[in-house]
Amino acid sequence: MPERRQPGPRSRLVEALRRWERENIFAADLLEEIRKSSDFSGPDRALVTATLNGVIRRRLTLDWLIDRFSSRRPPSRTGFARQILRLSLFHLIYLDTIPPHAVLHQAGELARGRTSRGERSYVNGLLRSFLRAEGDLPFPPPADRAAHLSVVHSHPRWLVERWGKLRGWEEAEKICRAGNLPPPVFARCNLLRSGVGELEEAWDREGVAREPVPGREDVFRITPGRGLAALESFRSGRFLIQDISTLRPVDLLEPAPGERIADFCAAPGGKTAYIAQKMEDRGRLLASDPAPARLKKLRETVKRCGAGGVIIRRIDLLRARKTGGTGSWDGVLLDIPCSNTGVLRRRVDARWRIGYDDLLRLAEQGRALLEAAAGRVRPGGRIVYSTCSLEPEENGEVVKKFIRQRPDYSLEAEESGLPGERGGDGYYAARLRKKS
């Protein structure tokens, strides 16, 4: 029997996009499946990653155009015709490396065997109508700020309206633009395994292009290229892939050698490893998470980074009565589950999974977690409460309510960042001190 040919990258993309719509599966999981089940070349892998992430990010924009260039009732959002049109329009608008005639040809090939003759004719006609428009796209007028920003930058309108009211329209647009940019790659030298000079020598041998991050001797911005996880320097734990915004809560916590520190929402482990480094792997460091699957990743990270003194436990902070010594921790890091509005460029489908009610639910969960952690800190100790959210309900309002209800705590420091500031993601962090 002849060997069965592997589906090409565009075929895999169309299938993956349909699964994303129909099965509520995460984009990151789909990409991982494709990587494991295919042997695409480097350029094809890059095309798959850029296109899958890009189509999902730009879904609202693409669907807006499909609906307005349609000569008939638009196709189902879960059908193949819609996915082929999304993919094709994304390549025509956002990737200038693929000529229009190639996009049209590929759309026809993708439609054959997946759609009816009528749908194939419809797909071809819509794409040709789009090309005849020559960039004159029927977007909402700029005077309608919320609708315009929502459609042009493909963010849910409720979220755009919210940012416009809370932060002003200029800042709202900056946040939307940042949410559609490919995220930068930052690498932190793990000083438990390697000196900065040794790591750079290893990178020189491995061909890793990078540039230093101002104000940080141990952090570099990596130029996209080869897969970092396959490098010996990564496998041996000399560095971690870690956005610079994730370092700030740990810096605010100021863990020191010999202290008792708990990281109660620790997976996947990057912050835990950074705490261990600051403690010089001396003292007591508890890293916990309630999800077994996430604990596995946490263990892998801690082991690879050589943080031998870390105690890893499965703990649901909202249900656990005791967590290794109530009232005994010098410091607690509480990096809570949140809406992810500060990291939309990394979690490409998060914008389509959240609503306002989720903000309120997550804010209440954050308040409950903070209250649960508060009883586990010794007098004079501190908690750092942090999120990767931009929303006041999940951030400052949780802290203010906590302070009002807990006179034994005071707010000592508070900071935040927007996506793209200094290259990092959006975040919030506050240090709370328990009175002696």
Report, as residue numbers or ranges, the catalytic residues. 388
CB–CB of 91/10 below 8 Å? Answer: no
Question: How far out from the chain centre does Cα 107 lie?
Answer: 30
Pair of tokens at residue 394: 């999940």
Strands 427-434 and 409-417: antiparallel
- Rg of the chain's alpha carbons, rounded to an integer? 24
DSSP lists the bridge partners of residue 43 as none
| Rounded Cα gap, residues 276 and 279, in angstroms | 5
| Rounded Cα gap, residues 150 and 50, in angstroms | 21
DSSP codes of every residue in 75-127: PPTTSHHHHHHHHHHHHHHH-TTS-HHHHHHHHHHHHBTTB-HHHHHHHHHHH
Which residue type is seen at 230? A
CB–CB of 430/384 below 8 Å? Answer: yes
Question: How far out from the chain centre does Cα 46 lie?
Answer: 18
| Rounded Cα gap, residues 396 and 383, in angstroms | 14
By residue count, the chain amounts to: 436
Strands 310-314 and 284-289: parallel
